[in-house]
Amino acid sequence: MSLPLKDLRRLFIADLSETGVDNPDLDVDLILSHFMGVSRSWIHCHGEFPFEGATLDLMKEAVFRRKGREPLHYILGSCPFWGKTLSVRSGTLIPRPETEFLVEVALNYFDGGTFVDWGTGSGCITCAILSDRPDASCIAVDSEASAIEVAYGNLRREGFLNRCLLWHGSTPESIPVASGTVDLIVSNPPYIPSEDVPSLMPEVARYEPRSALDGGRDGLDPYRMLLPWAKRTLRPGGLLWVEFGGADQVRPLEEMAPSGMSLLEVRNDLSGIPRLMGWR
């Protein structure tokens, strides 16, 4: 028996709306378009399409998982980032728009050379920079084996394995790179204060890896490791760009920078929250 697509869509949206999901219409559209292999606009133009595919069970399962507040991108297994479709699964943070902003700002200062991506997760920052800077090469580092696996898959699919060393390690000291040689260090480390993690939205608190979110008591532990190492590792004139959690962290981060590193800029995100900081 077939059902017009618009009715199926309406049923799924009603089902998801009961659970407090932020944008049920959008999520249902993305589930439908993923499993039907069509664009979102196709769905909006073909409401009378008589749906009777074998994919119905897969869609129902996806909606069911989303009702349990599992992030949409874990359910779909992929996430858009910098014009690419990257694989994501539990064990790696889902790339955020703020992190595309980190890429954009870092690229303004980076023409090519060597960079380090500390806490690469899915490899999103590394893939973006390598695709826009064909002469760049990098070391992408993560402390979690599950992230290294996902990043490896993304780098392989994008054709970047020949320009990237993936390094599994939890302290920057372990990274095999000589002092004073790196042109750019970028990082989106975990920066949420430990006690705030449980009250993040359920998608994040219940499903995303704590290791990618929890930055210790004040959220700044990773920067305490990163900044002194960055100072030693950057070449003269090299740059460090990091993402961080907001206004409360600006002053402590400024004060944490070792002498000899000069602050370039603090950039606000779309919501007006201070989000990126760069040093030379």
* Contact positions vs ligand GLN (CB under 6 A): 93, 96, 188-192, 200, 204, 213
Minimal distance in Å, beta carbon 89 to ligand GLN?
17
CA distance 279 to 67: 43
Distant-in-sequence, close-in-space partners of 54: CB < 8 Å, separation ≥ 6? none
Residue placing its CB nearer to ligand GLN in the complex, 35 or 82: 82
Q: How far is the CB of 189 from ligand GLN (least distance, A)?
A: 6
Cα torsion 17, 19, 20, 25: sign: negative
Q: Which of 68, 86, 67, 66 is nearest to 77 (CA)?
A: 86
- R_g of the chain, CA atoms, integer Å: 21
Tell me the closest approach of the beta carbon of residue 149 to ligand GLN, in angstroms: 19
Closer residue to ligand GLN in complex, CB, 162/271: 271
Shortest distance in whole angstroms from residue 47 CB to ligand GLN? 35
Nearest to 235 by CA among 171, 164, 184, 172: 184
Q: Whole-angstrom Cα distance, residue 181 to residue 213?
A: 29
CB-CB contact of 153 with 83 (8 Å): no
Could you tell me which residues come within 8 angstroms of residue 116 by beta carbon, excluding any fewer than 6 positions away?
Answer: 138, 139, 140, 141, 175, 177, 182, 184, 185, 186, 233
Cβ distance to ligand GLN smaller for residue 166 or 204: 204
Instruction: Name which of 161 and 200 has its Cβ closer to ligand GLN.
Output: 200
d(CA 239, CA 242): 10
| 157 φ, ψ (degrees, to nearest 5) | -60, -35
Backbone angles phi, psi at 276, to 5 degrees: -130, 145
Closer residue to ligand GLN in complex, CB, 40/210? 210
Structure tokens at 31: 């589930």
- Cβ-based nearer residue to ligand GLN, 59 or 226: 226
Instruction: Look at residue 199 and give its three-state secondary structure.
Output: helix
Identity of the residue, 12 or 81, whose beta carbon is nearer to ligand GLN in the bound complex? 81
CB of 99 to ligand GLN, least distance (A): 8
